[in-house]
Each structure stands twice: as C-alpha cells, then as structure tokens.
C-alpha cells in the first residue's frame, strides 16, 4: 500500500519493513520489539513508533478506489485474508507501543 503513497518514498525500505513487522506483531498480540529484532534490524523500537502509527493510519483511512485488484487478491483464504484485517484503534496502538 505504501508504494502508491508519496509520503513513504522518503523512508528507507528497511525501516519501512521493520515498522510493518512491529505493527503486525502489535496487531496480533505477538509481543513487541525484542532485543533480537533490534540487533538484526538495527532499529530501536522507539525509533519505529512514529512510522508504525503512520502505517496504521494508512490502513484506517485507505482510499477504496485504489488498489482494488490487490485488495481482492489478499482478501482470499490462500493469502490468509490479510486485506480484511481491521486496523488497530489509534489509542490502543499508542498504549501498546508505550509498553514495548
């Protein structure tokens, strides 16, 4: 989804990937940013928080006229229906990120 948004073009791909992983871990209650993830990614969890919030906002207010084919594809069971996952409430996300 970020490929079509100019705001994300200035972010490094590794930071974007790390932020997506942290958002996914948070959304699925699989823990936070561990020392192992910090070591191998090179990013501290606190450094990723602003981008994680921005990504969740993108999921929350996504334009429905863009990327219909991608959304349809990833709504299928083969892809675990990831396009149907509801974004986190911004206040709950903020609360969980503070505890990471």
Q: Average of pLDDT values for 63-80? A: 80
| Domain range summary for the chain, segments of one domain joined by + | 2-99
Q: Tens digit of pLDDT for each residue in 46-58?
A: 999 999 999 999 8
Q: Which CATH class is domain 2-99?
A: mainly alpha
* Encoded tokens for 15: 């930071």
Mean pLDDT of the chain: 89
pTM of the model: 0.84
Q: Count Cβ neighbours within 10 Å for each residue of 74-93 and write b for 16 or more, e otherwise.
A: beeeeeeeebeeebbeeeeb
């Amino acid at each position: 989804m970020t490929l079509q948004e100019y705001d994300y073009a200035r972010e490094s791909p590794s930071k974007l990937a790390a932020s997506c992983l942290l958002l996914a871990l948070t959304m699925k209650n699989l823990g936070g940013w561990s020392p192992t993830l910090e070591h191998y990614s090179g990013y501290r969890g606190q450094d990723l928080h602003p981008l994680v919030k921005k990504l969740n906002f993108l999921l929350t207010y996504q334009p429905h006229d863009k990327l219909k084919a991608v959304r349809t594809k990833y709504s299928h069971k083969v892809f675990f229906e990831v396009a149907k996952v509801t974004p986190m409430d911004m206040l709950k996300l903020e609360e969980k990120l503070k505890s990471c």
